Structure 1
Amino acid sequence: MKKMGVAIMSLMVVISFTVSAAPMPTDAAAVKAKTYANCTAINKVYKGGIARTSTVKNKGGKTKYKPFVSKALYDANKKSDRDKDLIACER
């Protein structure tokens, strides 16, 4: 009986070290955002463009599609925001 208890305790210690040593999933913000060459390339993936936050308003008028919201992705493609309304390549 004592050997069984020691074996179970040993197994629990091994499992706890294995779980704590496992790599943690990376944070979405830590992953490098992809930079696109132009608005045509962005609109192939994100039809409505890329917004920096969900609260920004479009200066250019009525749009057909809702933009994808991502601060990291917008910051990587800031050069494509011609009217500086914090939405890159809106359509």
Structure 2
Amino acid sequence: MKKMAIICSAILLTLIFAAGNISVEAKSEKVVTYKNCTELNKVYKGGLARAANVKNKGGKTKYTPFVSQALYDANKKMDRDKDSIACER
């Protein structure tokens, strides 16, 4: 009986800990709107891409863009050539 209580409490603690980690991960991505490409490129050197499969229309770039749909949507106004990559470098 004692073993069963210990096992049940261990499982319960594991589930509580796992649920706590899920909520922390979901809140970790903040959506920030930058005022210009210079500010955005200080944080993301290659710019922001809406999806991983988008292609750059503006020519050769030096850096790979960071992929985040939420960040791209918040900073969409800075995508001048409308290729789904904002502030590519």
TM-score category (smaller protein)? 0.7 to 0.9
Partner of 1:24: 21
CA shift digits 1:11-56 (9 cap, x unpaired): 111112212222132248x833222221111111111111111222
Match of 2:42 among 38, 41, 44: 44
Residue 68 of structure 1 aligns to which amino acid in structure 2? F
TM-superposed CA distance for 1:10, in Å, is 1.1
TM-score by length of 1: 0.76
CA distance in structure 2 between the partners assigned to 1:19 and 1:66 by the alignment: 38
Aligned ranges for residues 1-20 of structure 1 at < 5 Å? 6-20=1-15
Mind listing any 5+ residue stretches in structure 2 that lack a counterpart?
none
Aligned ranges for residues 54-65 of structure 1 at < 5 Å? 54-65=52-63
Q: State the identity as a percent.
A: 56
Mind listing any 5+ residue stretches in structure 1 that lack a counterpart?
1-5
Name the structure where helix makes up a greater proportion of residues.
2
SS in 2 for 1:60: coil
Hey, which bits of structure 1, 4+ residues long, moved more than 6 A?
Answer: none
TM-score by length of 2: 0.77
